[in-house]
Amino acid sequence: MTRSPGPPAAVVPVGPVEPADPLDGAPPRRWPALRWSPTLGKLVELAFTHTATFAFPLVFAVVCGRTLGLHDYGVVAFYTALAAFLGMLVEFGFNWYGVREVAPHLAQPQRCHRVLVNITAAKLTIWAGVVVVTSGALLVLRGAHEWPLMLAWSTYMLGFAADPAWFLQAHERTRVLLMVATVVRLSGMLVLIAAVTTFASTASALWSYALVSVSASILLWAKLFQLNLVHRARVEPRYVAELFRGAWAIVVGNLNSSFLTNGGVALLGLLADPATVASANLALRVRMAAEGALLPLNQLGYVRLSARAQESVAATFRLGRKVLVANLALAVLLSIICMLAAPMVSQVVFKEEVPLAVSLILLLALSLPLHSVGVLFGVQSLVALGREGRYALIQIGASLVFCVVLLLNATPQTYGWAVLAAEATALLASALALMRIGASAPSRKTGPV
């Protein structure tokens, strides 16, 4: 009878040992040994990046709300919400799909650049179709007198379609993203204040918005060339078709998710009065600003989750638990801050405390923790694990719940209650899907994220 070999001898590292990286799944170090880690540095850089990114919409809301008034700001809010909603269609899930394809293969630059070039070509193709169809519909529904607003809106969408920020995120070049976001947003704020206060027109506001989008894309492409991250590649129609097949489920899920927020505000722009649209848009801007504080953790977490998914479901879930704890704690804190600040925000933007705006800010702040955890369970974990189809079905179900509540509830706060119900639905369904994945995985040592 042979004896099984004992455990291998411990390997003693030679030279300095790098500090444990909490998002790499390494065992946590004791408090006295904590040091600045590369991951923490990237999280801080991403945090400042999104602070700059989301500061601009808030300044935009304040400047336009105080200068243009409630009615004209409602018109501007319609176009910005429409751009954000249709941006989900133009993006087509390619940003998430591209990160998943690039992050595990950074050692193969030619392969990575092939993904970048063909995804950009696909997004620009979708942009052209969306602009033609939507502009025709807007001319009929809103009138030809708004053509300057439609032109500014389509220019904003062009910058959005060409934006390669996802490629830099996959490479974890967070400092480049910070530099570009800071320069472009600060410059955009100066242009916005000068243009809107001088001309006091909806067109000047939207053109300032478009300038930020286009400038950011141009600077990011310039940095890609400077960092030698761009290599020779050509647009391959067959590969573009493969990208569409691979990302269609993600865009279906993202479109339905966006329907709960920007899509809902755009729908209000067609059905409700401008004051209701302005109040809903302000509430959404406040929640999106809070989400900006969560984005660094979400984006870097997704890059690492995509890499872990190449190893095993168990490795993905281990990392996911750590992201969940940090995510939920921060989301609850931000939700409380938004609730406390609701009256002050309404006073600053509209020069008075508008009850509808305050109540909608409270409802959307309450939905923030549900949304944050739902995003982790859904578009991050399910997509990283290759379950795009389940993610899409869950978001379709959440959109149906949103529409039902919107139709059955006749109160002015209907939009806020509909968002709450839909976010709770998406969270519960995504959690159940992850439980099933964990139960069917080869290793039963871990549970759902």
Reported as a single tens digit per residue, the pLDDT across 207-246 is 888 888 888 889 988 888 888 887 777 778 888 887 777 6
Mean pLDDT (whole number) for 365-383: 84
- Average pLDDT over the chain, rounded to an integer: 77
Q: Which pLDDT score is estimated for 292?
A: 74
Question: For 51-96, how does the pLDDT look when each residue is reduced to its tens digit (9 = 90+)?
Answer: 777 777 778 878 887 787 777 777 887 888 788 778 777 877 777 7
Looking at residue 332, what is its pLDDT? 92
- Greater confidence (176 vs 301) lies with 176
Confidence of residue 195 (pLDDT cuts 50, 70, 90): confident
Give the pLDDT confidence score for residue 444 in this predicted structure. 40
Answer yes or no: pTM beyond 0.85.
Answer: no
More confident residue, 133 or 12: 133
φ, ψ dihedrals at 31, nearest 5° = -55, -45
Give the confidence band of 32 by pLDDT, cuts at 50, 70, 90: very low
pLDDT band at 36 (very low <50, low <70, confident <90, very high): very low
Is residue 20 within 8 Å of 27, Cβ to Cβ?
yes
Name the band, by pLDDT with cuts 50, 70 and 90, for residue 31. Answer: very low
* Per-residue confidence (pLDDT) for residue 336, from 0 to 100: 92
Kindly state the tokens that stand for 226: 């400077």
pLDDT tens for 94-142 read 777 777 778 777 778 888 888 888 888 888 888 998 888 988 888 888 7
- By percentage, how much of the chain surpasses pLDDT 90? 2
Q: How confident is the model at residue 15 (pLDDT cuts 50, 70, 90)?
A: very low
